[in-house]
Structure 1
Amino acid sequence: MRADAMKNYEHILAVAKVVIAEHGVDASLRDIARKADVGLGTLYRHFPTREALLEALLRESFDESTKKAEMLENASAADEALVSWLREVVDFTGTYQGVVDVMMVAKEDPESALHASCVTMRMAGTRLLIRAQAEGLVRPDMDGDDLYSLAAALAWLSNQPSSASKANHLFSIIASAILTNRSSIDFEGTPV
């Protein structure tokens, strides 16, 4: 990609991050282009669909979540690792109104631009879950899809005005329900 094209690409993404954080995943692409001071054609050249823009915007966060899970697999106690990863996923997916719906659809649609990133992130969480289950620290009747769905539900709740103030409390309830030994960590993912 030419230097000027790369500059436009990165600038559009930076503007999209702000606009989508403010207005959600259904934010106007025309507004994003206008605020980025580029033509709509330039935006579409880089991101032919809304989903392509969202994929580029979210891929970095999904990849960071996957890397964090890989790091936590070896660096933390299994229950701490799982809760820490879950907290991170809930926090970043709750950043953009409507992203949870997009993620849940993309996970099931192999043609989606977000499918690979969603599946990879879910698999990273599944590995943490399996490790914690093997050590008897997490209820055995959960699977990776359950974990992914709980993260999505918690992120969705954090975006609801009636639940936003209770987001940490709701996270604690879910973490408590998942763990079999709740005394070893608090629900921010740090040792007690």
Structure 2
Amino acid sequence: MYCGLPETVMGTLAGDGSPLHASCAAMRDAVAGLLATAQADGAIRGDLTAEELFALVTAVGWIAEQAPTLEGRRERLLALILQGLRGPARSAP
């Protein structure tokens, strides 16, 4: 559907000469804001950076393009990544 989008987004972030740079940077900044909120709430581990999260999510899209057998498992791959990013379990009050 959006073939090549992950590679384009990551490449555009690296070069501010692209006409898409501002849009991709705004998307990355939005991810950073959501991540900071989730980390402050303890839902996501505190040592994860926005760049790492953005790269991981983009990687899921990229690998699904590269390996058509994984296309239908994109949501599962993303869920596996997100499960690994959860913050430590909180004890009950």
Q: TM over 0.5, yes or no? A: yes
User: Aligned partners of 2:79, 2:20: CA distance in 1, in Å?
Assistant: 29
Cα separation, 1, equivalents of 2:51 and 2:85: 14
TM-score, L = length of structure 1: 0.43
- CA deviation vs aligned residue, 1:171-191 (integer Å, no higher than 9, x gap): 110110112268xxxxxxxxx
- Name the amino acid aligned to 2:50: G
- Could you say which residue in structure 2 is the equivalent of 1:124? 30
**Equivalence map 1:74-89=2 (5 Å):** none
1:164 aligns with 2:66: no
Cα distance in 1 for partners of 2:40, 2:13 equals: 26
| Residue 141 in structure 1 maps to residue 51 in structure 2 | no
1 CA distance for matches of 2:49 and 2:78?
18
The one-letter amino acid of 2:14's match is E
Distance 2:88 2:60 in 1: 21
1:175 counterpart (82, 85, 91): 82
* Partner residue of 2:60 out of 124, 129, 154: 154
Matches of 2:28 and 2:40, distance apart in 1: 18
Larger radius of gyration: 1
How far apart in 1 are the matches of 2:46 and 2:87?
9
Aligned 1:40-59 pairs, distance under 5 A: none
Query: What is the CA–CA distance in structure 1 between the aligned matches of 2:42 and 2:4, rounded to whole Å?
Result: 35
Identity of aligned residues (%): 31
Q: CA RMSD in A?
A: 1.6
> Where do 4+ consecutive residues of structure 1 move more than 4 Å?
none
| Aligned residue in 2 for 1:110 | 16
Q: Contact 2:38–2:44 at 8 Å: present in 1 too?
A: yes
* Structure-2 separation of matches of 1:131 and 1:145: 15
The aligned length equals 88
Tell me by how many angstroms 1:162 deviates: 2.4
- Stretches of structure 1 that go unaligned for 5 or more consecutive residues are 1-94, 183-192
